[in-house]
């Protein structure tokens, strides 16, 4: 990989961030599979370290959080008894927080869908902010103690629980159930009911599924190793936050949030590789 030019690396990264699988990226660019995976690993670490350092002191006002399901190696139902409970095998969740105004994703975390992961995720999110915020999550109970421990009473927090109709059968079973309503619950402070929403973070979930082949449902492109998933997520958010112009903003989320002054090119993203070694992996709060 050391022999690759910056242009070749940028070509590989462009294919990855636009939702191509590892093998299709190899076919498109002519690079070997090992070369693509090594670039993903090295650049993923650099992207995680850069965002951990840069996304600090944010002046966000309204944040939304959600968890995106995925799996590594195999789905939970297929994990053999000898590997039950082993981290990085079976179901994993990507916890994501997004600023409703700037569309910036200041923090994410890959882990189980449990209280320990919720605490680590919310604690990291809170550490990046300078102002009191309004926070909306889904009804996952693990958020309750996590938000209170991280923010105390200095947050306007509410939960939004969507209510769905019965599951569909037959050919329609692949379609999502119909949402028939929602329930908004005030938890801490005085959240504005007009801004109690998880629409932006749910749209980000779709962006992730379309931009990373390993999140696409019903394919064989899922991650085979947890480390590859971590690096892919770090690279995705690097490009999403700093390199891709948001359609409604006309600038990148990082520019809208005031943490960048220009749109990063693929060459600049690739240039992060070779910087000092990252101190955290993408599985840690970014």
Per-residue pLDDT of the chain (286 residues; tens, 9 = 90+): 457 899 999 999 999 999 999 999 999 999 999 999 999 999 999 999 999 999 999 999 999 999 999 999 999 999 999 999 899 999 999 999 999 999 999 999 999 999 999 999 999 999 999 999 999 999 999 999 999 999 999 999 999 998 777 766 666 556 667 777 788 999 999 999 999 999 999 999 999 999 999 998 888 889 999 999 999 999 999 999 999 999 999 999 999 999 999 999 999 999 998 644 433 333 445 6
CATH 3.30.420.10 fits 6-270, yes or no: yes
Q: Please enumerate in sequence order all residues whose Cβ is within 8 A of that of 45, keeping only pairs 6 or more positions apart, or say none.
A: 231, 234, 277, 278, 281, 282
13, 22, 107, 278 from 273: Cα distances, Å: 12, 19, 21, 10
Q: Are 124 and 96 in contact (CB under 8 A)?
A: no
Cα separation, 168 vs 174, whole angstroms: 8
Model pLDDT, residue 276: 44
Q: Please enumerate in sequence order all residues whose Cβ is within 8 A of that of 170, keeping only pairs 6 or more positions apart, or say none.
A: none
Cα separation, 114 vs 48, whole angstroms: 23
Positive or negative, the Cα torsion across 255, 257, 258, 264?
Answer: negative
Q: Are 230 and 44 in contact (CB under 8 A)?
A: yes
Q: How many Cα atoms are found within 13 Å in the side-chain-facing hemisphere of 163?
A: 5
Helix-strand-coil percent breakdown of the chain, rounded to 5? Answer: 45, 20, 40
Model pLDDT, residue 179: 73
CB neighbour class for 61 (10 Å; exposed up to 12, middle 13-18, buried from 19)? middle
- Which three-class secondary structure state does DSSP give residue 79? coil
Tell me which DSSP letter residue 166 carries: P
Question: Largest Cα–Cα distance of the chain, in whole Å?
Answer: 57
Radius of gyration of the chain (CA): 19
Nearest to 266 by CA among 28, 25, 32, 43: 43
Model pLDDT, residue 271: 94
Tell me which DSSP letter residue 186 carries: E
Cα separation, 286 vs 251, whole angstroms: 22
Domain segments of the chain as ranges: 6-270
């Amino acid at each position: 990989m050391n022999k690759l030019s910056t242009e070749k690396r940028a070509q590989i990264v462009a294919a990855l961030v636009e939702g191509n699988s590892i093998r299709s990226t190899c076919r498109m660019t002519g690079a070997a599979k090992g070369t693509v995976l090594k670039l993903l690993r090295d650049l993923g670490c650099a992207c995680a370290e850069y965002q951990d350092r840069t996304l600090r002191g944010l002046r966000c006002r309204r944040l939304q959080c959600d968890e995106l399901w995925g799996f590594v190696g195999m789905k939970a139902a297929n994990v053999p008894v000898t590997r039950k409970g082993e981290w990085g095998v079976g179901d994993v969740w990507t916890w994501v927080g997004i600023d409703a105004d700037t569309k910036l994703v200041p923090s994410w975390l890959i882990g189980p869908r449990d209280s320990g992961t919720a605490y680590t995720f919310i604690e990291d999110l809170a550490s990046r902010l300078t102002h009191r915020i309004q926070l909306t999550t889904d009804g996952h109970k693990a958020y309750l103690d996590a938000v209170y421990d991280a923010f105390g009473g200095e947050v306007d927090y509410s939960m939004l629980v969507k209510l769905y109709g019965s599951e569909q059968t037959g050919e329609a079973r692949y379609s999502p159930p119909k949402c028939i309503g929602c329930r908004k619950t005030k938890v801490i402070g005085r959240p504005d009911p007009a801004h109690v929403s998880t629409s932006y973070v749910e749209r980000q979930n779709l962006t992730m599924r379309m931009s990373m082949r390993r999140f696409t449902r019903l394919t064989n492109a899922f991650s085979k190793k947890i480390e590859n998933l971590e690096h892919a997520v770090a690279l995705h958010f690097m490009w999403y936050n700093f390199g891709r112009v948001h359609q409604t903003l006309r600038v990148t989320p990082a520019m809208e949030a005031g943490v960048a002054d220009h749109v990063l090119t693929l060459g600049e993203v690739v240039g992060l590789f070779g910087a000092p070694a990252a101190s955290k992996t993408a599985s840690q709060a970014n």
